[in-house]
Amino acid sequence: MLPSSIQISGEPLSSAEVRDICRGLRDNAVRLLSLRGCRLCDRDFARICRALAGASSLAQLNLNLGVVSSPGRVKQLAEALRVNRSVQSLFLHGSPLTDAGLALLNPALALHPALVALDLGDCMLGDEAINLICGLLPPDGAKSGLKELTLSANPGITPKGWSRLAIAVAHSSQVRVLNLDYNPLGDHVAGMLAVAVASSRTLEVLDLEGTGLTNQSAQTLLDMVENYPTALRSLVLTENSISPELQQQICDLLSEGEEEEEAAAGGDSGRLQERERDGELSARQRGGSWICPSDPGSQMVLMTSGLGESLLAETEM
Q: CA-to-CA distance for 272 and 267, rounded, in angstroms?
A: 9
Residues of the chain with pLDDT under 70: 1-3, 140-143, 257-317
Helices (H), the chain: 15-26, 42-54, 71-83, 98-111, 127-134, 159-171, 186-199, 215-227, 244-277, 283-287
Considering only CA atoms, give the Rg of the chain.
Answer: 21
DSSP 13: P
Taking the domains of the chain in order of start, what are their residue ranges? Answer: 1-124, 151-261
Which residues, other chains included, contact 122 with Cβ-Cβ below 8 Å and sequence gap of 6+?
A: 93, 94, 152, 153, 154
In this chain, the answer to whether the domains covering 1-124 and 151-261 adopt an identical fold is yes
Which residues, other chains included, contact 80 with Cβ-Cβ below 8 Å and sequence gap of 6+?
A: 49, 50, 52, 53
Fold of the 151-261 domain: 3.80.10
Q: CA-to-CA distance for 306 and 218, rounded, in angstroms?
A: 28
- For residue 114, the model assigns a pLDDT of 94
Q: CA-to-CA distance for 84 and 61, rounded, in angstroms?
A: 12
- For residue 142, the model assigns a pLDDT of 57
- For residue 305, the model assigns a pLDDT of 33
- For residue 291, the model assigns a pLDDT of 24
Q: CA-to-CA distance for 258 and 262, rounded, in angstroms?
A: 6
- For residue 295, the model assigns a pLDDT of 36
pLDDT digits (tens, 9 = 90+) for 211-233: 999 999 999 999 999 998 899 99
The domain made up of 1-124 is a member of CATH 3.80.10.10: yes
- For residue 139, the model assigns a pLDDT of 74
